Chain A
């Protein structure tokens, strides 16, 4: 069930909330938790009922391992606790590995050693990457004695809480558990409900109007790039920029909706995006993009690997390992690994540059305005280039798009546009139809260019929703609400969130 589907908005969400509020009002806390867990499992099972078993087994397994870690807290039980932690993390990674990476592994083995092992038709369970990470974090926190014992119901709710079950934000136990277990949890708070509804609606606008509006301009080019096509400059840049904006509006829209729905139930989920395209370098970018994942990778991978405590070389190595695995987490394809590695390399260069500046006596963070603007543009440029690898299905496809962006296949625009501005004919060739430029029509190209302009203005200069007051957010509903509803109730298609496949 998608957040932007009619059945979710008209039936599931209102029904879940009304019954939850009634139960909480009558002080039936346990019943309220049970109801919410049932609703969350229904939400998950709606998509593919058999995989509900996987989620339930995963919850039971981790709750049991967590229980051992909690019960064996004495110093004599260090070995048992270590074993339980390894078993727990191993179990989670094994499930993730099987469902997400089995075929990837087999195909690579076949390629490397000329084997003919057959792959399996495994359907990736929705949200497995997220609920696995949630639970690994829980086990590690429990091992570190940073969690408290909770009932199975509360634990199941922590994992399956439907606003964040499928695509995050990745929350930590202590961030939400105090709210989930408090006696006044789930009670109707009109202020919170209002704030939640506003975020839900604005997030929906980002997803269905901005991200989905840009989507067709991306799909046609990246699809064509799988075949022998010579993409031209504007076709490639159009698709790359549209994807850069699409993935941001899609995922940050989803996160806003999740945070909004959390608030409606009195749960504060962590912010996941903080205007990432305003970042002035890659370190800054990862403090702003998918913040809950960055935090997870930092706390549960980078720091345990040694972080920056073992010298510069180890620090850079740890960054690279973290980012390569972070890339692989996004999908079973070398293009994702490359994307992670590319970001890792940029972060390493970034650290090295900071070190060099410190050595030269140029303080970091005191750049002039134009220097910051230049840094922002440079960062954005490389982020866009990296997204090409993230979106492309193969390296060859990515290469074709990048060739186009580099202008190797020339610059071509529709002749009608050039006729309006003849001086451009000195640099740009005219063609009747440029098939992969937007939808191949002149008006389509202008629409795309303006949508990119609107999108870039928003991400570069606009304040994000969390920098605004609630009353300002409500004002934003006036230009956006009807457009979002139009997409949900009257547009031909409802598309899933991009991060659902991760």
Chain B
């Protein structure tokens, strides 16, 4: 009996130590801390620019391929880039974007193709869990008990290793390629120039073009459900959401059927969808380090293009009113 008691005690201690270590002792100051810093930059911007605004919500496609700084000059209204990273599940990407929204705002959503096809498992086990526990525990309030458990028990051996390394690097003053210093006041990524992107050319040429999953046509994914709930919420709160396609290579056209399916998700909830003539597809040379990440000159050009379309759309709406 003593042996079993010792084993049970060892197991309980193990769980308590696990929770203590991952909740309070280790964190990822470089990868997840960056998102926290980005939120601070955005908070400062929103405080300085009250009133109706355009908010871009996506993963890193939003960060690298959209420039709110450029768009606000064309649109004549404050623009905020509230995008995060692809490793965050769609629910948390949206939750982090939602905090900046107020009635009368406009949301631009160039969601990555895979976001629409996220499974429940992928959403529950995303890297956002680490962010929540260390940087945004307030988000736990809105999560189901099962999701809270997923947040508490998200951390594996690899997480522990990389967290310890990140803490060490941060202490040594070493930062990532992209950090708070490479964000515009609006929260866009900057500095991903063509010349810096040269060392990724080989890698970019080896990638296959991203695109939507055919399964979207006949299967309902959790990603779609999460998005629909947000679109509904936005409608109820007087927020206009405009979906658009993310930026990918132009090796082959994106299927019209799939584009129609994506557009229908927004439109079915009374929101809008903006389809550029080029379907947001660009030559590989326009990209920085991977698909979804335009380099800076292309980011600016694409943002100008989008902003001009939005401008005419908003003017029409204004005239209509």
**Residues of chain A having any CB pair with chain B under 8 Å:** 190-191, 193-195, 197-198, 201, 209-210, 213, 415-416, 420, 430-435, 440, 443, 446-447, 450-451, 470-471, 474-475, 477-483, 485-487, 489-492
Contacts and interface: CB of A to CB of B under 8 A. Distances in A.
Contacts, number: 107
B57 to A, nearest CB: 24
A420 B169 CA distance: 11
Contacts of A209: 156-157
What is the predominant secondary structure among interface residues of chain B facing chain A?
A: helix
A483 B161 contact: no
B289 A447 contact: no
Given A210-B157, A491-B125, 19 more contacts: A193-B3, A195-B3, A197-B4, A416-B177, A431-B203, A432-B203, A433-B289, A443-B166, A446-B165, A450-B165, A451-B157, A451-B158, A475-B10, A477-B11, A479-B14, A482-B11, A485-B15, A487-B156, A490-B153
A424 to B, nearest CB: 16
Interface in B1-39: 1, 3-4, 6-7, 10-11, 13-15, 17-19, 31
Given A190-B3, A431-B203, A433-B200, A213 B17 contact: no
Contact of A481 (B1, B4, B15): B15
A456 to B, nearest CB: 15
Contact of A197 (B7, B15, B290): B7
B174 interface: yes
B31 A482 contact: no
A432 B289 contact: yes
Given A197-B7, A475-B10, A477-B7, A492 B158 contact: no
Contact of A213 (B10, B156, B289): B156
B155 interface: yes
A381 B7 CA distance: 38
A482 B7 contact: no
Which bracket fits the contact residues of B? 35 or more
Contacts of B155: 486
Interface of B: 1, 3-4, 6-7, 10-11, 13-15, 17-19, 31, 121-122, 125, 149-150, 153-158, 161-162, 165-166, 174, 177, 197, 199-200, 202-203, 206, 289-290
Given A482-B15, A483-B18, A451 B161 contact: yes
Contact of A447 (B11, B125, B158): B158
Interface centre among B31, B121, B154, B162 (most CB of A within 10 A): B162
A193 B8 CA distance: 13
A477 B10 contact: yes
Contacts of B13: 478
Contacts of A451: 157-158, 161
A434 B177 CA distance: 16
Interface-central residue, A201, A209, A430, A433, by most chain B CB under 10 Å = A433
Contact of B157 (A443, A446, A483): A483
A198 B3 CA distance: 10
Contacts of B125: 490-492
B223 to A, nearest CB: 15
Nearest to A448: B158
B14 A190 contact: no
